[in-house]
Structures are given as C-alpha cells and as structure tokens.
Structure 1
C-alpha cells in the first residue's frame, strides 16, 4: 500500500478535528549548537552531550525546545567551524528563527598555538552568524567559556605546561566574554567548575582528556538558568 493511503487511513481514525490540529501543530522551537569536540561530545553517548542535556532539562521545566541541531566536529578551530557551518547550510538550509543558539569554540586555536588576535577576529564573525541564526536577537545566543584541559590526565601525562595553558585559555575566554557582552549575547562561564572538577576520573571520558556526561551535566546546569530566562521572555 502506498504511504499516502496509509496516512489517509490513519487520519480517518482520528477524532473530528484531530487531523487538522495535528497538521497545524506549531513546530518545536529550534536549538542550534555550534562548536567542536566539547559540543559534539567526544567519547560520550549522544544523550550525554551538554546541549542535549540542556534541552532535556528545559523540557522538564515546561519549556518547549527541540532537540539541538549540532554543527560541531572534534578538532575544529574557529575558521574550521566557519567552513563547517557553510557545508552544513549547503546540505540543509539553516533558518534564522532559532529560539536558542550556543557557541563554544577556541580550544583548538589555543592547542595549535594560533594567535589570540586571530581568534578574536574569527570569533566575532562566528558570533555574528550565530546572532543571525537567532533571528538577529543576540540575547538568544549562549556563549560558553572554553574549559581548561590543562587539568586533565592527558595534559599531565604529556608533560604540558599547565600554567601556560591556563593563562592562554583565560585570555581567550576574556576575549570571548568581552565580545559577547559587547553584542548582547549571554556568556556562561563553565571554566571554573571545569578547572575544579575536570581532573576527576568520573568527570572524564575514556581518553582522559574530554569531559564525561557527568561534567557536561554541570555545564548544562550552569547554562540552564540563563537559557530558561531568555526562553521565558
């Protein structure tokens, strides 16, 4: 039987008016999450990713929000995220009506030794794109701080200069906060809790570098009041 016939039969069994209501039901508000390994959730199950956990917590509070669309890949720098957004938009259009957009990017710029000035320029451009995806409303954009990977066993085993990593990431985060504040985006500082808890075994994925779902839960908890407030406006 053709799918159209099956659909017609199913609709015919609904109570009067139900078919029209289903057809006219408003779609769930969109959530777009932009970033790198910290957004895609390297080493964790999809439900453990922080944007997915945030969406679930918002729904628990009675706030309608769709499952996040993630444009993120492990290892991406700011310019690679820019190219990734272009590629994703070519495959499937990116509308400008997202109720919530998150942006977390920059750790790989620091890891590769890329200059802060370059990060500032490219991050500013990405933030403008994020605002565009949020219908031009910067208050619907969450910028998350970059966590300090220098506290992880990976950094310790590889003999990295943990103080240098911390100082560089502090500078990157200060720039991101300044740029976000200037445009009216919401900055969520998950760096302190990541620095405090990010070296614990329970807070790490198997690679000893990336966060586990437990640490992502703390990030979602930090972002929750900000996201809830802006979505209830």
Structure 2
C-alpha cells in the first residue's frame, strides 16, 4: 500500500504543525456543552428507544440548548411518528475508547443508537487500525448487550473544512480524518445492523459555530433530518 502524502510530509512539516497546533489551542474559543435534559420521552406512536453517544458534537457543543442541538432536533423529528424514549451519553473530548468505557457502565437497551466520534481520535493521533479496533468493540457493545437493532455511525468530520484550523494543519488533520472515516466505513460494513452516514454539508459559514470548530444549530438541524430519514 503506497504511503499517503501527509505521512511523507509529516516530518518536514512537523515544526509548522506543532506551532500551529499550539496557537489553535491557545486561541480557541471555549464553548460549553448546552443546557437542557439529556434523557426524556416525547411524541406519540410506536415505542422507539434511542441512544445518542459520542464526543462534543453529539453533546451539542455549538448550540445554546439541547433543544437546538443534535439530540433535541432529532427527537423532535422522530416524535412526529414515534414515542421516543431517548438518552444522550456524550462528552467533550471523548474518543471512541472513552465512549466504550462510558457505555460499559450502563445496563440499558435501545432500538436505535447514533454515534458521533473521530475528531478526538484524530487529534490524539490514533492510528487507523486502532480506530477500527475501537469502533468494532463499540459496535459489538451496541449490537450485543445493548441490543440495538439499528446503529448509525456518523462520518468522521471533514476537518480540512474547519474554519478554526489554519493551513497546512487543516490539510494534515483532514487527511487523517478521511483515513479514519474509511476505516469506520470498513468496520460498519461488517455489521448488518449498522449504516454509515456521510454528512456532506454545503459550504455555508452559518453551519459553523462561533468557535469555527463545532456545528451550529443550523448544521445540527441538517444532521438530525438526515438521521431521521435513515431511521424512518
């Protein structure tokens, strides 16, 4: 297998990447996780037990309330057809391994599970092979003890498009994000209950939160609608 261009250029670019990484962390605008309930019941119709899990995007960072975030917007869509019993298990900074550890402490079952992971695996230099191994363990947990009949894994975000990241750091992290997403697709294809959602958002500044790193409520609405279509 040929070596990717970003891997070849990693060593000569290392000083620049290091300086840019430090600057991004130092100048980053911190956005808290939104306020609001993280579990509940809504709607009328057949019962649907829903889990949303993952990192800061699953937790809704970039929105002011959970109602504007992924969980609230998705539940709002699904409540038109189902009695949705939902739960949000997500936290800023979580990698796939962190999410596994969080979910292992739960003794509950779900019909549908949504995952949103990958950015922190990228920034912590998790290899594609390790990422695939962790994702397989997560899917084993969701489809095994948690009994999920449908799992939707959201694509690893296209980090090259994050407004907060300068070049060449954006390109470098974007290459790794794409590599991990290819691994995620490979793992998902091995499970009949699992589908991969490639969230291709248009080039619209309104889709980014003020920090240039997280989705805005408008982006969460598009994401929720695409998830709802897959679930329906």
TM-score higher than 0.5: yes
TM-score (norm 1): 0.73
Higher Cα radius of gyration:
1
Displacement, 1:80?
1.1
Show the counterpart of 1:147: 157
Displacement, 1:47?
0.8
Counterparts of 2:127 and 2:68, CA distance in 1: 32
More strand by share: 2
The one of 51, 66, 77 aligned to 1:57? 77
Show the counterpart of 1:33: 52
Q: 1:210 to 1:136 in 2, by over 3 A?
A: closer
Runs of 4+ in 1 over 6 A off after TM superposition: none
Counterparts of 1:227 and 1:27, CA distance in 2: 13
Q: 1:116 to 1:42 in 2, by over 3 A?
A: same
- 1:164-222 CA-to-partner distances (Å, cap 9, x unmatched) read 222211111111112112111121111x22xx33xx43112222211111001111122
Alignment partner of 1:76: what SS? Answer: coil
The one of 214, 218, 221 aligned to 1:217? 221
Q: How many residues align?
A: 187
Alignment partner of 1:30: what SS? Answer: strand
Counterparts of 2:148 and 2:212, CA distance in 1: 39
Counterparts of 1:58 and 1:27, CA distance in 2: 11
Counterparts of 2:168 and 2:95, CA distance in 1: 20
Show the counterpart of 1:15: none
Are 1:134 and 1:141, in contact at CA under 8 Å, matched by a contact in 2?
Answer: no
Displacement, 1:153?
2.1
Displacement, 1:81?
1.1
Show the counterpart of 1:202: 206
TM-score (norm 2): 0.73
Show the counterpart of 1:71: 89
**Unaligned 5+ residue runs, structure 1?**
1-25, 229-233
Counterparts of 1:176 and 1:36, CA distance in 2: 16
Counterparts of 1:213 and 1:189, CA distance in 2: 19
Show the counterpart of 1:85: 103
**RMSD between aligned residues:** 2.2
More helix by share: 1
**Unaligned 5+ residue runs, structure 2?**
1-44
Counterparts of 1:40 and 1:227, CA distance in 2: 20
Show the counterpart of 1:16: none
Are 1:205 and 1:212, in contact at CA under 8 Å, matched by a contact in 2?
Answer: yes
